[in-house]
């Protein structure tokens, strides 16, 4: 599969391990052997080693040798955080990112037919982990020296990378852009104006100065304008507001991975309306009037929110229409943000690989009940993790 984002102009900096130690013992032979086998086109290579034998360091030296972006999958958040810390120490000059589920607490939407109990989705989002997720996709789209440590969360549906790039706001010193047009574009990509409480995902305006706090950054940016011309771009300290450095060019990526332009959103809404009428017709034909009424009421509310606000609660359940995918086709996920030649490393594979296979079935059985009882359109079934076979197809080596 050819990824259009593989043609992106990414900053190319070499992977460089910084360590007081050099490969020792079995490590030099292992690095040379694995590198040779990968260059020869082998798709699966196993690195065996007991705990504490330096497999993480060996992986870092291997990535340095091959100079290819890498995805390291771990079986849980704790191990992923530990690996990310180790790789950041070994690769301090490269982008080592952390991509796991951003929920501190998560109760998925569900329906229990036997007791007629509907359980609404309830969750608590960890803002720092959400920032790190956005930081990972931002790094993948702007540079090549990226190593992402992720949990199996990375096979869950994510917005399409092409739309994410297309909605990006590019700023360059000397460019002309009307201030109100800039503000509208920021609102279109899910940023909120807040002149009082300045936090991630918001922007504020003071005369000819616009300050934006990108969701993936630890510091905000300032745009100083003279009329309709961008005069200065600066990175600010998030507490003191002190200028840390000036930039000639900046990219502001969307505040959500699920963003769509007006044309794509209009097409998605039309598709959802057609599916709604078909599904309501099916329920009415079977005499399931309660389910028909429930589905019409819930979906109509979501459609109104999408038309007015460009988003709605649970918009990911309509991702198939927004991405313009056929029913049953795999969703976009973090793997689609990587260039085609990336390297996959699976840690604790005896635990992680079975997790990958189990994710789809557990998700599908819960959603099937919601769809059968009129809580969701059938399109919600396509907001899902990858099936194991789909995952295998996306992995080069």
Domains of the chain: which residue ranges? 17-162+327-394, 169-252, 262-316
Name the pLDDT band for 37 (thresholds 50, 70, 90): very high
Mean pLDDT in residue range 47-60: 84
- What digits encode the pLDDT tens for the residues 122-159? 888 888 999 999 999 999 998 999 999 999 989 998 88
Homologous superfamily in CATH for domain 17-162+327-394: P-loop containing nucleotide triphosphate hydrolases (3.40.50.300)
- What digits encode the pLDDT tens for the residues 173-197? 999 999 999 999 999 898 999 998 8
Locus of tokens 């934006």: 212
> Could you tell me how many residues make up the chain?
397
Fold of 169-252: Penicillin-binding protein 1b fold (3.30.2060)
Whether the pLDDT of residue 89 is over 80: the answer is: yes
CA atoms within 13 A on the CB side of 359: 23
Give the pLDDT of residue 2. 58
Name the pLDDT band for 48 (thresholds 50, 70, 90): confident
Helix (H) or strand (E) holding 355: helix 349-372
Handedness of CA 85, 87, 93, 99 (dihedral sign): negative
Whether the pLDDT of residue 1 is over 70: the answer is: no
Q: Give the Cα separation of 397 and 386 in Å (integer).
A: 18
Q: Give the Cα separation of 210 and 295 in Å (integer).
A: 42
- What digits encode the pLDDT tens for the residues 329-381? 999 999 999 999 999 999 988 899 898 888 888 888 889 999 999 999 999 99
Output the CA–CA distances (angstroms, integers) from residue 90 to 53, 231, 365, in the order listed.
Answer: 15, 39, 42
Q: Give the Cα separation of 264 and 394 in Å (integer).
A: 25
């Amino acid at each position: 599969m050819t990824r259009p984002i593989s043609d992106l102009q990414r900053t190319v900096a070499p992977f460089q391990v910084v360590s007081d130690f050099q490969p020792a013992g079995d490590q030099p032979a292992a690095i040379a052997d694995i590198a040779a086998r990968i260059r020869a086109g082998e798709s699966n290579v196993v690195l065996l080693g007991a705990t504490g034998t330096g497999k993480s360091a060996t992986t870092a030296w291997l990535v340095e040798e091959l100079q290819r972006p890498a995805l390291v999958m771990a079986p849980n958040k704790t191990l992923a955080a530990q690996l990310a810390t180790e790789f950041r120490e070994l690769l301090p000059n490269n982008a080592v990112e952390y991509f796991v589920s951003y929920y501190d607490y998560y109760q998925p939407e569900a329906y229990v037919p036997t007791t007629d109990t509907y359980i609404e989705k309830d969750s608590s989002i960890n803002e720092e982990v959400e920032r790190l997720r956005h930081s990972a996709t931002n790094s993948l789209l702007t540079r090549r020296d990226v190593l992402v440590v992720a949990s199996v969360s990375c096979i869950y549906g994510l917005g399409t990378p092409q739309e994410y790039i297309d909605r990006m706001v590019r700023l360059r010193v000397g460019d002309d852009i009307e201030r109100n047009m800039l503000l509208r574009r920021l609102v279109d990509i899910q940023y909120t104006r807040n002149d009082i409480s300045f936090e991630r995902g918001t922007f504020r305006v003071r005369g000819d100065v616009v300050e934006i706090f990108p969701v993936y950054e630890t510091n905000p940016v300032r745009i100083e304008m003279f009329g309709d011309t961008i005069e200065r771009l600066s990175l600010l300290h998030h507490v003191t507001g002190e200028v840390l450095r000036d930039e000639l060019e900046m990219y502001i990526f969307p505040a959500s991975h699920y963003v769509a332009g007006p044309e794509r959103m209009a097409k998605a809404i039309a598709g959802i309306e057609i599916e709604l009428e078909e599904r309501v017709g099916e329920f009415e034909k079977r005499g399931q009037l309660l389910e028909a009424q429930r589905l019409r009421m819930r979906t109509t509310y979501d459609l109104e929110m999408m038309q007015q606000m460009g988003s709605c609660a649970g918009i990911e359940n309509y991702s198939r229409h927004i991405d313009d995918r056929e029913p049953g086709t795999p969703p976009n996920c973090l793997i689609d943000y990587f260039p085609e030649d990336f390297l996959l490393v699976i840690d604790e594979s005896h635990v992680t690989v079975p997790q990958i296979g189990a994710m789809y079935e557990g998700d599908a059985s819960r959603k099937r009940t919601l769809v059968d009882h009129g809580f969701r359109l059938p399109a919600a079934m396509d907001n899902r993790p990858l099936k194991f076979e789909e995952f295998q197809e996306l992995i080069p080596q």
